[in-house]
Amino acid sequence: MNIIDSLKQSRTVIDSLLLNQSTEFGMASIPSPLTELEMAAQECVDALQNGNKIFFMGNGGSAAEAQHLAGELVSYFMAQSEPYAAIALNTDTSVITAISNDLGYKHIFSRQLQALSKPGDVAIYLSTSGSSENILEAMKYGKINGLVNIAFTGMKTRWMHDYSTYYVSIPSTSTPTIQEGHLILGHILCHYIEEKLEDARTKDMP
């Protein structure tokens, strides 16, 4: 594949996202991604206004995107906004290696949620495959313990669907393309959060 063909493939996925249509995956209906994203973003706004936090997590390239998006909220995205409570759970190597060594790698995120989260917090799980064991384990914990579970995934599997409050699925089975879609939608999520919270803060100013 040459560079032009690769760009055309990415554009095809973006065009599919803009259609914002539900799709069939096996015997299940996968919801419209942008509709899910908007509802998920509003949940993030509500959570932050209520004093809750947003947790991001992923493996490999998705780990990089998780800490990228957390950084956008703790620093600022477009406006010089207030800092927002966001944490990437894949960044503390001492915690991750301790949990991996003592309990097993599948628990690296669920154990941190157990230690740090409370009901009403938001957890955003990034997995291109949708089958990462540590992500699914964390989602199970989040669902049982009152977290808002937001899945960012693709069209390889649908295992994350059962544990999700909101299910944002990139219409692709290509790992790089799914990651590109996650970053685009992640930036839209951060922009939405920042804009809504800054609007609210401005209205409250004397």
Range in 25-34, 99-108, 146-155, 163-172 the model is least confident about: 25-34
Confidence class of residue 9 from pLDDT cuts 50, 70 and 90? confident
| Contacting residues for 167 by C-beta, under 8 A, at least 6 apart | 30, 31, 36, 151, 153, 160, 161
Confidence class of residue 111 from pLDDT cuts 50, 70 and 90? very high
Give 57's Cβ-side CA count (13 Å radius): 28
| Contacting residues for 111 by C-beta, under 8 A, at least 6 apart | 99, 103
> How much is the pLDDT for 204?
67
Q: What is the pLDDT of residues 145-157, one digit of tens each?
A: 999 999 999 999 9
Q: What is the pLDDT of residues 149-205, one digit of tens each?
A: 999 999 999 999 999 999 999 999 999 999 999 999 999 999 999 999 998 877 766
In the DSSP assignment, the letter for residue 81 is: -
Whether the CB-CB separation of 40 and 123 falls below 8 Å is answered with no
Confidence class of residue 74 from pLDDT cuts 50, 70 and 90? very high
In the DSSP assignment, the letter for residue 96 is: H
Residues 6, 3: Cα–Cα separation, whole Å: 5
How many percent of the chain have pLDDT more than 70? Answer: 97
Q: Where do we find the tokens 């063909």?
A: 5
Residue 17 has pLDDT above 80, yes or no: yes
Residues 145, 110: Cα–Cα separation, whole Å: 11
User: For helices 3-19 and 175-204, what crossing angle results, to 10°?
Assistant: 50
